[in-house]
Chains A and B, each alone.
Chain A
Amino acid sequence: MAVIKVTRDNFEAEVLKSDKPVLADFNADWCGPCRMLAPTLEEIAAERDDVKVVSINIDDEDILAEDYGVSSIPCLVVFKNGSEVNRSIGLRPKDAVLELLR
């Protein structure tokens, strides 16, 4: 699957009510490390059918960022059954991102 773009309108359906674990990437276009991380997330989305990878632009979705206490990007948050179970800040190698999903 591809990375899904999530906004406040589909956040509940795509993230909170997802039947699969969700890897949510809070990012911005102007953020270099976010752009560096993007290919890794695309790979994971393509390779892992058991995980949904979503992208949330913090400039467009500042309320979502605020609600989830995001104050540094890139910020990866893993949701299971609607709750946060893991989080990491900053550029991470692929192994470390996969580790978040364990």
Chain B
Amino acid sequence: MKYDIIIVGAGPAGMTAAIYARRANKTALLLEAASYGGQIINAHKIENYPAEPHISGFDFATKMYEQAKELGAEFRFEKVIAIKDNGDTKVVSTPSAEYECGAVIIATGSDKRKLGVAREDELVGRGVSYCAACDGAFFRKKTVAVAGGTRTALEDALYLADIAEKVYLIHRLDKFHGAEADYERLQARDNVEFLLNCEITALNADKKLESINVKSKDGSTQTVEVSGLFVAVGRVPENQNFASVIDLDEKGYAVSGEDCLTKTKGIFVAGDNRVKQVRQLVTAAADGAVAATAAVKYLNS
């Protein structure tokens, strides 16, 4: 069977696109590598989505999923590895199948960026974490480090300062662009120590993380004893498999405007994997609506 629209990624952008596609009476298949919801399921509490003053990420994602299902969207849990443009027909491939459709919406979002230090993968769940809200509770009254200079890094450090005995914030620069307010709040905490202009060069562990080696720009090095390391060095858009049909910028984001169009007719992008200023739940959902509406218009023309 040929679908009208295939949506790659079942996060808030993809599921919103499915809702709009179905309401326009187009068949819609969502292909998702892991589970519906995307990164929002990690959010303990969402408090900035209009008309939902307090909701957990899991409940939010589940409500969206149920809404899309009820409208007749189809979900399959397979990772998309390629998209081929044959004009009026697009072919979307997963490791186990090929699906045909008239239009594709790429809403793959982004994945955590790794620190890139030896043993990082091996120590995930043994001291290394990418989610302070998820794993912070394991480090009550312990010493932890946060790596990164992003707003998330500062928020993580603030959150952990309430739980942990001591928090080191390690950043390779000495400035926090766009997060000065959080930086000031952190400076007021007695149990937060800043290691600025510093890089983590090694993770030392037997079974669990025990310490990290930190090297400063001035050349000095030190070993810092920590039980936990929270990595918050940004995110990477998941567009690698689609470079043949969409243009990517130097950071890997899909080049597109607010219209969600790409260089290929009938292929659209929506959500965090697109070049944009604001990456929030509500803007991801907005993209889903814009992309689906554009896809419907394309199919009807």
Q: Which residue of B43, B58, B126 is within 8 Å of A71 (Cβ)?
A: B126
CB distance A32 to B58 under 8 Å? yes
CB distance A72 to B125 under 8 Å? yes
CB distance B125 to A35 under 8 Å? no
CB distance A93 to B33 under 8 Å? yes
Q: Which of B14-22, B34-42, B273-281 sits within the interface? A: B34-42
A: interface residue count bin: 20 to 34
| Known contacts A72-B124, A89-B125, A92-B34; is-contact A30 B44 (Cβ 8 Å) | yes
> How close is A89's CB to chain B, nearest CB, in angstroms?
4
* A58: B residues at CB distance < 8 A: 137-138
Q: Which residue of A33, A87, A93 is within 8 Å of B134 (Cβ)?
A: A33
CB distance B56 to A87 under 8 Å? no
> How close is B165's CB to chain A, nearest CB, in angstroms?
15
* A65: B residues at CB distance < 8 A: 138
Q: Mark B21-62, 1 if CB is under 8 A from A, else 0.
A: 000000000000111010011111000000000001110010
In the complex formed, the residue of B with least CB distance to A66 is B138
* B41: A residues at CB distance < 8 A: 32-33, 35-36, 91
CB distance A72 to B207 under 8 Å? no
In the complex formed, the residue of B with least CB distance to A94 is B77
Q: Which residue of A36, A59, A71 is within 8 Å of B135 (Cβ)?
A: A71
**Is B129 interfacial (CB 8 A cutoff)?**
yes
Q: Which residue of B34, B40, B134, B139 is within 8 Å of A31 (Cβ)?
A: B134
Which B181-239 residues have a C-beta within 8 angstroms of A? Answer: 207-208, 227-228
> How close is B66's CB to chain A, nearest CB, in angstroms?
13
* A32: B residues at CB distance < 8 A: 37, 40-44, 56-58, 61
CB distance B139 to A71 under 8 Å? yes
CB distance B44 to A69 under 8 Å? no
In the complex formed, the residue of A with least CB distance to B78 is A93
CB distance A70 to B37 under 8 Å? no
> How close is B31's CB to chain A, nearest CB, in angstroms?
13
Q: Which residue of A30, A59, A70 is within 8 Å of B125 (Cβ)?
A: A70
CB distance A91 to B127 under 8 Å? no
Cα(A59)–Cα(B136), bound, Å: 12
CB distance A89 to B77 under 8 Å? no
Cα(A73)–Cα(B137), bound, Å: 11
Could you give 16 example pairs across A and B, Cβ below 8 Å?
A28-B137, A32-B44, A32-B57, A32-B58, A36-B37, A58-B137, A69-B208, A71-B127, A71-B228, A72-B129, A72-B135, A87-B125, A89-B124, A91-B34, A91-B35, A92-B34
Q: Which residues of A contact B (CB under 8 A)?
A: 28, 30-33, 35-37, 58-59, 65, 69-73, 75, 87, 89-93
Closest 6 CB pairs of A and B: A89-B125, A32-B41, A32-B58, A72-B125, A71-B138, A32-B57
